[in-house]
Structure 1
């Protein structure tokens, strides 16, 4: 079973800003997010795991982890999380800020927005849709 990582996207205020930032980095080569420590649950992470990005207090997007690289600098060994270039928006899910990264179990991960859109298209009884911001607010209040 796969496991995911939660990472706070420091200095980023929207998924579009993260996407633009990463598209500039893609010019230089594959996406690599550097962390100080190597995940201890490496096998589970590489078995379909993703990085879930926390933006402005909400999980807002994810990217598949393609591999882990050993990197070195003047401070010693680091871990490079090699990420898929596809940034997938998720349902907004409130999450308190933290330092470093945390594990997220697959069952607790928010759904991809594209899956929610597909579900709503197939639901003929739908009377209307909530915006992601409204849905996040209702979730934070425990109403959905």
Structure 2
């Protein structure tokens, strides 16, 4: 069984901001001769590691809604410079836009069942892929489709 992770993207207000950050991260990794993977470090380590690594994604919440995701490659234990153990979420550098799915603020991360995950944009069905993110999110919230 696969399970995803959903997390607030603190300090980032749009998918474009995240893409710019990811581009800088990949350039730094290339320059250092490191593998081109994205990494996000969080305090708690998922107990359902095998399910997350079986094809899960990290879904990012920005401006009150899930807006995009990245495929998770693996989860690794890391220790910070302060000696505290943490979890490094290793992801594909690709950012995949999703339909907007409203979420209230929360701390840390949460599991997300595949059937509750928003669909990737570009898949036929909903339409509105060319709309600005904020307008698309408002239309979804109002039940326009």
Q: TM-score range by the shorter chain?
A: 0.7 to 0.9
Q: Distance in 2 between matches of 1:129 and 1:77?
A: 43
1:87 to 95, 99, 111: 95
3-state SS, counterpart of residue 28 of structure 2: coil
1:1-144 to 2 correspondences below 5 Å? 1-29=1-29, 30-73=37-80, 74-116=82-124, 119=125, 129=128, 131=131, 133-142=134-143, 144=145
Q: Please list the CA deviations of residues 65-96 of structure 1 after superposition, one character each: whole Å capped at 9, or x if unmatched.
A: 00111111214211100010000000111111
> Whose Rg is larger?
1
Aligned-residue Cα RMSD (Å) equals: 1.9
Matched with 1:123 is: none
Q: CA deviation at 1:31?
A: 1.3
Q: CA deviation at 1:137?
A: 2.1
Q: CA deviation at 1:28?
A: 3.1
TM-score of the superposed pair, with normalisation by structure 2: 0.84
Number of positions where the alignment pairs a residue of Structure 1 with one of Structure 2: 135
Q: Distance in 2 between matches of 1:79 and 1:92?
A: 27
Matched with 1:124 is: none
TM-score of the superposed pair, with normalisation by structure 1: 0.84
5+ residue gaps, structure 2: 30-36
Q: Distance in 2 between matches of 1:23 and 1:109?
A: 25
3-state SS, counterpart of residue 115 of structure 1: coil
Q: Distance in 1 between matches of 2:26 and 2:136?
A: 32
5+ residue gaps, structure 1: 121-127
Q: Distance in 2 between matches of 1:63 and 1:6?
A: 11
Q: Distance in 1 between matches of 2:14 and 2:70?
A: 15
